[in-house]
Amino acid sequence: MKANFKQVLTIILATILSATVALFGYDYMQKRNASSNQSSQAIKEYSENFSQEFNQNNVRLANMTTSEGYPDFTEAAKRTIDGVVHVKTTKTPSRRRQQYIDPFEFFFGFGNRNYDFGQPQPQVGFGSGVIISKDGYIITNNHVVAGATEVSVTLNNNKEYTATVVGADPDTDIALIKIEGDDFKYVSFGSSDDLDVGEWVLAVGNPFNLTSTVTAGIVSAKNRANIVGEAKSLQSFIQVDAAVNPGNSGGALVNTRGELVGINTAIYSQTGNFAGYAFAIPISIAGKVASDIKEYGTVQRAVMGILSPNMEYIKQNDPEKYEEIRDIEGVLIDDFSDRSPSKAAGIKQGDIIKSINSAPIKNFNELQTQIGRYRPGDKIKVDVERDGKKMSFTVELQNAQGSTDLVKNVDGMDMLGATFTEISDSTKQKLGISSGVEVASVESSGKFRKEGINKGFIILRINNIPVNSEADIRKIVQMTATSNSEDKVILIAGFYPNNKTQYIAIDLSSK
């Protein structure tokens, strides 16, 4: 009887113990999943913020497979192809003039002369674009429309429209253009953050001027950097092996649900054509840039104010230090910029950034991608590792000028408060100059009047670049006024007739 009682008691205790273990295990898994879901939700919410800017009614399609279990891309292609457009650009180069020396005239004292090559022929280029709203907003690449005097868009139904360039951002190579209408088919935003390496994707565009072309491949890698040169400040590309060729630039990279996850931008090739890999700008970056351009007229860039070690430099010059830090998972803070919001929040040199708003950070490219989706004034939670301990800080992001203000679209020419007149070749010859633009008038409230530049002043160069027209001046001034640099200064070299050359600096950072 006692033996039976012990057996029953043992079974009861084992049952209680098993139930307890199961309960605690379930609770642990729930908390773990909740943490993971919190990170994914934080990413998703920010990824979808810009979709609201374009009034997208996102309809999600289920993954499609054939009866044999293979992926079926037909539904994704049908959903996308009418929202991808053919972009044609026309560029009219400026009239070229070049000095030459006639040896006979040189020896007889006439010197050199300007030779006119005649009116240059317009240059025509082609690319792709993605309609992202019912009322005709289109994302494309900046390099597709840069310098264009005319932009036209052809839909999949062969209807052609004249497009207006709303704005562009050379740093991310994203431009926003618009066609007039209110019932266009568009491609819904997806989440580039949720893409997995090995996942099927489609590239839709117009390679070699062949319209409505769809190719398939897989995501080969994420967060690729240093693909299109060091001049680009923000690089975190999706690498795919779908065939992408000249003409695909600005086209759509979509997942198997037909959702826009990237803008096709570059290829890796020694011949200029597809050679195995292509690169797309994640929609988490491209969508935010387009949203900023639409809402503010310029891109709102936030900074943390931190400096990270240059791994390649350290590898070459300090191999021992490189061995110490090469395996760090996260971003090591090497130093801070002036007026750093991160330093003000309590983060220290030597800390390792592990996550931003619960999104894991493994390298600097991932950090750039995360910060690139925020605006000045946004507060983010930064988790760091310090001496083996996890610590959290709240950082209020700033703009490049060290404030939390949103940057407004600045008309640099309006700030100058002046009008200009081109100088004839004969006048240039009399003055002994090869370039120049004359100031025709100035306003009393403009920066020209403030710095002592008045009517009759002849501008030779701005920032050491020769100018010959108001368009030349506008290009340099706007580039400076809308840059992300703290110093928005133009240096003007010019003179009044019969006076010496003057050098005048004008600050464009404020009215």
Q: Residue ranges per domain, the chain?
A: 1-50, 54-299, 306-396, 412-507
- CATH tag, 412-507: 2.30.42.10
Please count the other Cβ atoms lying within 10 Å of the Cβ belonging to residue 186: 22
- CATH tag, 306-396: 2.30.42.10
pLDDT 10s digits, 153-202: 999 999 999 999 999 998 899 999 999 999 999 999 999 989 999 999 99
Mean pLDDT of the chain: 83
Split at pLDDT 50, 70, 90, the class of 64 is: low
- CATH tag, 54-299: 2.40.10.120
Closest CA to 176 of 230, 139, 210, 128: 139
What is the model's pLDDT at position 35? 47
Q: Considering only 54-58, 67-71, 126-130, 313-317, which range has the smallest mean pLDDT?
A: 67-71
Question: Out of 169, 173, 193, 472, which one is annotated catalytic?
Answer: 173
Tokens of 366: 């991932």
173 is catalytic: yes
- Res. 104: pLDDT tops 50: no
| Residue 417 or 486, more confident | 417
- Res. 260: pLDDT tops 90: yes
Same fold, 306-396 and 412-507: yes
Main-chain phi, psi angles of 315, to 5 degrees: -60, -40
Which residues are 126's β-sheet partners?
Answer: 88
pTM over 0.75: no
SS3 472: helix
135 is catalytic: no
- Res. 205: pLDDT tops 60: yes
Terminal alpha carbon distance of the chain: 98
Q: How many helices (H) and strands (E) does the chain have?
A: 13, 28
Tokens of 96: 């070229």
327 is catalytic: no
Looking at residue 13, its amino acid is L
What is the model's pLDDT at position 15? 61
Q: Considering only 6-20, 225-239, 379-393, 477-491, which range has the smallest mean pLDDT?
A: 6-20
What is the model's pLDDT at position 66? 60
Question: Out of 128, 143, 171, 292, which one is annotated catalytic?
Answer: 143
Question: Out of 128, 192, 236, 249, which one is annotated catalytic?
Answer: 249
Question: For residues 383 and 361, what is the distance between their CA atoms, to the nearest angstrom?
Answer: 9
